[in-house]
C-alpha cells in the first residue's frame, strides 16, 4: 500500500480530493506567508507528508485478515476517478433521469428540470476547466434565454456552500484513523465553494469532476427518499437497458422484455430482459440498488457489510427462483429448452466492486442458505453461475456478444475459476482484444441531439 512520493509520481485525483479536504479543514482566512502550494516544492512536500500519514495508518490498521476489505475500499475510492468524466456517463444518467416521473421529482426538489440542470452545470463546468473561480459579480454572463438569476440561484443551492459550512462539517466528519481517506467528503455534495478569492466574493470549484458527478449520478441522493422514486427509477433504468440492447443488436442475437405470468393465483414477472441466441441466453435482472456509504468505509467485516451483502444475495436468489420457473416451463413466451445454457446477470447501475473471493464467498453462502430454505437445487450456483455486471461494463459486453456469440464469451468467463471474478472490461481486454477494438459509443447521435437541445435551450 506504500505510495511513491511526488518526485517520481504525480498526484492522483483521489489524493487531490483528500488534499483539498485537508486544506479546507486546516486553512485560515488570513495567513501571510511566502510559502504557497502554487510552488511545486511546497505542494509536493505537503502531498508527500499526507501520503506518509496515510501509509503509517495503513501499517497500523491493515493486516492479512482485512486486506481484502481494504482492496474493496480502495476500489470505491479510486476506480471512479480512473473512469474520467465522459459523454457516455453523462448521456446514461441524462436518459435515465430525463423521463417525466423523475424529471418532475427533480423539478420539485431542486427547482430545475434535468435539461436546465445539465445546461447550467455544463456551462459552469466549461468555465471551471479554464480557471478555478467565477466571480459572484460575473454571474450575469450565464443568463441565457430562460436561464436567469432565479435558475442560477437554484443551481447554486444544489451545488455550493460557504467555505465555513464545509469546514465545520468536514471537521465533524474527520477521523485520524483507518477512515481518514474514506470518510464522507462534503465536496461531493457541494463541489462549488463560496469564498473570497483574490479579495472578491467568488464561486471556487477545486475539482470540476465532482461537479460533473453532482449533476449526473449525484441526483440520485437528492430525490431517492421521495415517494415512488424507487419504482420510477427502476423502471427508467430497465428501459435504458432495453435501449442499450436494441442499439447494440446487429440481428445475431434476439431479446425479450419482462412479461407477466401466473402460478396458480400468484402473479409473477419474468426476469427484466432475456438476451438469447441459438443455444444460450442471458437472464438479466436490472437493479439500481447502491451499496451504502458505511459499507464502503468498513475495514473489518461486521453486521453492516453482511447486511448489504445479504441484499445482493437476495437479488441472486430471486433470479434463481425465476430461472426455476423457466425450467418448469412457466415463462409465457420463452419456452424451456433442456440444452440451452442460461447465464444469470445481475445488472447494477453502479459498480459494487466485489473484489476478491472473500465477499463473494459470503454472498454465495447466503445464496445457498436461501436456496436450501426453498428446496431449490443448490447446484444452480455451479451449473448456472451468476455474474454481477455494472451498466458501464454491460454497454461493452453486449457489443462483444454480437461478435462472439453468448456461449463462447460467457462460458469462457463464468467457468474459469480464476477469471470469473474479474471485472468484465478487464476480461474482455485480456481474452478478446481484437473484438474490443470494434467497440463504439452506442448513443452518439442521441448525444449530439441532447447537447444541441441543451445548447439551444428549447424547452
pLDDT tens, 120-153?
999 999 999 999 999 999 998 888 777 889 999 9
Is-above-0.85 flag for pTM?
yes
Residues 6+ apart with CB under 8 A from 452: none
- Residue 30 is predicted with a pLDDT of 64
Whole-angstrom CA distances from 442 to 204, 252, 286 are 35, 17, 19
Specify which residues 342 forms β-bridges with.
Answer: 281
Half-sphere exposure of 314 (CA within 13 A, CB side): 8
Helix (H, G, I), strand (E, B) or coil at 279: coil
Report all structural domains of the chain as residue ranges with CATH numbers, in order of start.
Answer: 13-75 (no CATH), 87-222 (no CATH), 233-446 (3.40.91)
- Residue 344 is predicted with a pLDDT of 98
CA 315 to chain centre: 18
- Residue 385 is predicted with a pLDDT of 96
- Residue 202 is predicted with a pLDDT of 96
Mean pLDDT by 10 residues, the chain (459 residues): 45 93 85 77 92 93 87 87 86 96 96 94 92 93 84 96 96 90 92 93 96 95 92 97 95 93 91 96 95 77 84 97 96 95 97 81 95 96 95 96 96 92 92 94 88 58
Q: What is the pLDDT of residues 383-417, one digit of tens each?
A: 999 999 999 999 999 999 999 999 999 999 999 98
Amino acid at each position: 500500500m506504500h505510495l511513491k512520493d511526488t518526485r517520481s509520481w504525480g498526484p492522483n485525483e483521489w489524493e487531490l480530493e483528500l488534499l483539498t479536504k485537508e486544506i479546507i479543514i486546516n486553512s485560515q482566512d488570513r495567513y501571510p506567508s511566502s510559502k504557497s502550494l502554487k510552488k511545486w516544492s511546497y505542494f509536493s512536500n505537503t502531498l508527500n507528508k499526507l501520503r506518509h500519514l496515510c501509509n503509517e495508518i495503513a501499517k497500523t490498521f491493515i493486516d492479512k485478515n482485512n486486506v481484502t476489505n481494504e482492496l474493496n475500499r480502495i476500489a470505491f475510492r479510486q476506480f471512479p476517478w480512473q473512469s474520467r468524466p465522459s459523454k457516455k456517463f453523462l448521456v446514461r444518467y441524462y436518459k435515465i433521469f430525463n423521463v417525466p416521473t423523475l424529471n418532475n421529482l427533480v423539478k420539485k426538489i431542486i427547482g430545475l428540470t434535468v435539461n436546465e440542470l445539465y445546461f447550467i452545470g455544463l456551462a459552469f463546468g466549461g468555465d471551471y476547466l479554464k480557471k478555478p473561480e467565477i466571480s459572484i459579480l460575473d454571474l450575469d454572463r450565464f443568463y441565457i434565454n430562460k436561464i436567469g438569476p432565479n435558475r442560477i440561484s437554484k443551481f447554486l443551492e444544489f451545488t455550493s456552500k460557504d467555505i465555513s459550512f464545509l469546514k465545520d462539517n468536514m471537521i465533524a466528519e474527520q477521523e485520524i484513523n483507518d477512515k481518514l481517506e474514506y470518510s464522507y467528503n462534503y465536496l461531493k455534495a457541494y463541489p462549488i465553494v463560496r469564498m473570497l478569492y483574490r479579495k472578491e466574493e467568488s464561486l471556487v470549484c477545486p475539482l470540476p469532476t465532482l461537479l460533473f458527478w453532482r449533476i449526473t449520478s449525484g441526483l440520485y441522493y437528492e430525490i431517492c427518499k421521495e415517494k415512488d422514486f424507487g419504482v420510477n427509477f427502476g423502471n427508467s433504468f430497465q428501459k435504458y437497458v432495453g435501449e442499450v440492447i436494441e442499439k447494440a443488436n446487429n440481428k445475431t442475437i434476439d431479446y425479450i422484455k419482462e412479461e407477466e405470468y401466473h402460478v396458480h393465483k400468484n402473479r409473477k414477472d419474468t426476469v427484466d430482459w432475456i438476451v438469447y441466441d441459438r443455444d444460450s441466453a442471458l437472464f438479466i435482472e436490472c437493479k439500481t440498488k447502491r451499496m451504502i456509504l458505511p459499507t464502503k468505509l468498513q475495514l473489518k467485516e461486521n453486521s453492516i457489510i453482511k447486511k448489504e451483502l445479504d441484499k445482493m444475495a437476495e437479488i441472486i436468489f430471486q433470479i434463481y427462483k425465476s430461472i426455476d420457473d423457466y425450467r418448469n416451463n412457466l415463462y409465457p413466451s420463452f419456452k424451456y429448452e433442456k440444452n440451452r445454457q442460461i447465464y444469470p446477470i445481475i445488472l447494477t447501475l453502479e459498480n459494487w466492486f466485489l473484489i476478491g473471493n472473500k465477499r463473494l464467498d459470503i454472498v454465495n453462502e447466503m445464496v445457498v442458505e436461501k436456496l436450501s430454505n426453498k428446496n431449490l437445487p443448490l447446484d444452480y450456483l455451479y451449473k448456472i453461475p451468476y455474474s454481477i455486471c455494472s451498466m458501464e461494463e454491460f454497454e461493452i459486453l453486449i457489443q462483444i456478444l454480437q461478435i462472439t456469440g453468448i456461449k463462447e464469451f460467457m462460458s469462457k468467463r463464468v467457468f474459469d475459476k480464476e477469471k470469473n471474478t474479474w471485472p468484465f472490461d478487464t476480461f474482455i481486454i485480456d481474452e478478446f482484444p481484437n473484438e474490443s477494438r470494434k467497440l463504439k459509443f452506442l448513443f452518439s447521435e442521441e448525444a449530439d441531439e441532447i447537447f444541441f437541445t441543451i445548447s439551444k435551450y428549447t424547452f
